[in-house]
Structure 1
Amino acid sequence: MRAIGPEWAGRGWSAHILATGEEDEGPFADEMRAAGYVVHHVPFRRHPGFFLDVWRFFRTQRFDVIHIHCERANFWFGLLATLAGAKVFRTVNNIFRFEGGLRLRRRVQRWLSWRLGVVCTAPGPDVIAHEMWRFGNPCRQTPYWIDERRFPLVDEAGRAAARAALGCAAGQFVLVSAGRCHDIKNHAAIIRALPLLPDNVIYLHAGGGPLEAEEWALAQRLGLDARVRMLGVVDGIHTVLAAADAFVMPSITEGLGLAAVEAQVMGIPCVLSRVEGLSELAPHSRAGEWCGLDAESIAAAVIRLRQKDLGEVRRLALLDAEDARRIYGRMNGFEGLLTLYGSAG
């Protein structure tokens, strides 16, 4: 959203963001303001009065369009936005495998939202098919995008500089992952794959989260202290990606996998699990390899990648980068949103 912030005013739109953090607006509020957004804050509280505050906010602002991106309380936000007179869109950003009573409740809520006129969107065919199968929820496809300007193609000089900055030794084969340390990201399987790979293969992870300490503890138990580096949240993710011989994303599920797209537009081959969401990247994943969810499968995919002709891998990676940049460039996403919102009338 930050990438397209400056574009709204030029097309006659005033763009706003509502933050609902309990204590503050969140760490990116100032960046979003600098990008041209008006940032508001209605602090979340576990009380019905919170939803009354949100409805009053919607009524006061008199928005033409309200776009909801969260899963939690999405039905209630959609109901309040509809009552406030806005045209409402809601994007399902992931594959939600709810079961039992929660699945039934979400199915009923999605049906009621549809009856209210909320337009549901999703990033790709996999999420659209899953929403229909699990919840009977019809969705339209809406584009996802990245800020491709932040992820330029990396050449040999850039790769060498990034490796030097991160302290990677000559001759090491560098695996990189990026994202929140959560069980669906399956980082533990990457760590367990390392003992199955040559000693010069190392693993860098950029990102934090609830499992960060647990993942580092696993690396220590396996004696991989020198081969695993948990970098935490980093400002310059481009530098970390630029150091990679391969980007690894063996997720259990993904809505799409934009972190992989960011690596692809830089010309980095990817090792991806063939699961819903990530499988949609196949047309521009010619340089990389596919894997399963277990350590053995991940290690085998990395070995296959290393056995390929390096020149051919680099050639295919450039083709992948060109395709990914064309499909997921920021202006493609922006134009897609304008088309979506224009359908509101």
Structure 2
Amino acid sequence: MKKKRVLHILNELKASGAETMLYHAASYWADVGIECDILSTGENIGSYAQELKNAGYGVFHLHNNKRPDFFIKLRKLVCEGKYDVIHQHAEAGSYWTILSLSLLSLKIVRTIHSNFIFDGILRFKRKIQRQHLTLLGVQFVSISNSVAKNEFKRFGIETKLVYNWAALDYFNPPTEQERKNARATFGLNDSDIVMVSVGNCAYAKNHEAVLHALAKLSVNQLKYLHVGHEAEDGKEKLLAEKLGVNSKVIFAGKQDPLAALHAADFYVMPSRYEGFSIAALEALSTNLPSIFSDCPGLSDFDSFFPDLLYTDANAGNLHLVISKLIHDRDLYKLRAADYHTIAVEYFSIQKGVASYSALY
């Protein structure tokens, strides 16, 4: 039986979102009769390209400069690659990219990876474009209920729902020895109460809210462990010093987050908005009690994982929620004991690959 060939179109390839999902799913496509390649349309191919090549994908690079030569080269690549399905992930340039391929009689899938809060003329433009592509037969996909609701409310389109997935067989709850080793890695004592967050220090992540909350709490044992790229201007470190909490904060930089998750007592994510956070899913899969802001992309987890704690939308009351969790941390730890099992049931790689296979 001939395998179906799929070309995934993304921006510059980085270790986040759709790229990491594709990386972890690489060995699963063959089981459902699918071969996948990846096209980077960023100015640079991206730092994650080699990992995707090593995983078995064919990886190509065409910079989407919005000029005719890009669309000519794209069409040639698609025809020579004999693809059956185009899977467009990148938001930027997506309309014209899809339109340029619409006469090739291919199945086209367009995944929306975030809650795009476009307003004014840009909202009107995106609405017309999305509705036009829907009329042309493009299948739109949302990664969470909040994204689906946003697409319908803001742009007037119906979407299929396929949740993000994560490498849940890797993000397991720690054994006692694994937890002990992880805490030693970061120089943590048995008496330390450790909250962790994972993600780059971008505006959307709102990490400064954690530092402000830490300054308001008089819990001597409380430590904040952050994994991810720091802001280029070092503003989080400067804020920690200004607030007098720098001795309680560990900026661990970009690294595999598993050890930090195993070292922690609870996870905190005060984002301003998300699509459907893979970092949060990985944390939950290790059975960590978690605190999220009540924002699109994080509020979705509440219907799957019992006893999550939520701040208000801007995380202004984060210190109060942290205090509540610390006071009852044994109870919340007990209630989080089934999080890994829940994650596997609803957000496994196999489930996501099967859902996309059905759409292809």
Instruction: Sort the TM-score into its range (normalised by shorter chain).
Output: over 0.9
Compute the displacement of 1:294 (Å).
4.5
Deviation at 1:154, TM superposition (A): 1.5
Q: How far apart, CA to CA, are the structure 1 residues paired with 2:288 and 2:353?
A: 25
Deviation, structure 1 residue 155: 2.9
- Paired letter, 2:35: S
2:254 paired with 1:233: yes
Shift of residue 334, structure 1, vs aligned partner: 1.2
Distance 1:164 1:105, change over 3 A: same
Equivalences, count: 338
CA 1:168–1:181 in structure 2 vs 1: closer, same or farther (change >3 Å)? same
Cα deviation per residue 1:219-270 (whole Å; 9 max; x = unaligned)? 1221222112222211x21111111111111111111122111111111111
Q: State the alpha-carbon separation in 2 of the partners of residues 154 and 318 from structure 1.
A: 11
Return closer, same or farther for 1:222/1:49 CA change in 2, 3 Å cut-off.
Answer: same
Quote the Cα distance in structure 2 between the aligned partners of 1:280 and 1:4: 23
- TM-score by length of structure 2 reads 0.88
Query: What CA distance in whole angstroms lies between the structure 2 residues aligned with 1:309 and 1:223?
Result: 25
Q: Aligned residue for 2:57?
A: 37
Aligned residue number for residue 224 of structure 2: 203
| Cα pair distance change 1:285/1:142, threshold 3 Å | closer
1:326: which partner in 2? 345
Specify which of 104, 120, 143 is matched with residue 124 of structure 2: 104
> CA offset at residue 308 of structure 1?
1.1
Quick one: distance in 1 between partners of 2:211 and 2:167? 29
1:94 matched residue in structure 2: 114
In structure 1, stretches of 5+ residues that fail to align are none
> What are the superposed Cα offsets for residues 48-102 of structure 1, whole Å, 9 maximum, x if unpaired?
4223322222232231011111111111121123233321000111111111111
Matched, 1:17 2:38: yes
The 3 A distance-change label for structure 1 pair 254 and 295 is closer
Q: Deviations over 1:275-325 (max 9, x none)?
A: 222111113433431112445411111111111151x32321112221112
CA RMSD of aligned residues (A): 1.8
Q: Indicate the SS of the match to 1:175.
A: strand
Superposed CA deviations along residues 1-21 of structure 1, whole A, max 9, x for unmatched, are: 112211222332211111123
Structure-1-length-normalised TM-score = 0.92
Q: Gapped runs of 5+ residues in structure 2?
A: 1-21
Q: Which residue of structure 2 lines up, in the alignment, with residue 156 of structure 1?
A: 176
Counterpart of 1:52 in structure 2 is 72
Is the CA contact (8 Å cut-off) linking 1:62 and 1:84 kept in structure 2? Answer: no
- Helix, strand or coil for the counterpart of 1:318? coil
Moved more, 166-175 or 323-332: 166-175
Choose from 313, 317, 327 the match for 2:336.
Answer: 317
Structure 2 CA distance for aligned equivalents of residues 69 and 275 of structure 1: 22
**What CA distance in whole angstroms lies between the structure 1 residues aligned with 2:29 and 2:350?**
11
Counterparts of 1:211-226 in structure 2, within 5 Å, are 213-226=234-247
Structure 1 position 209, deviation (Å): 5.9
Using the alignment, how far apart are the partners of 2:76 and 2:180 within structure 1? 54
Q: Is the 8 A contact 1:270 1:285 kept in 2?
A: no
Give the aligned partner of residue 133 of structure 2.
113
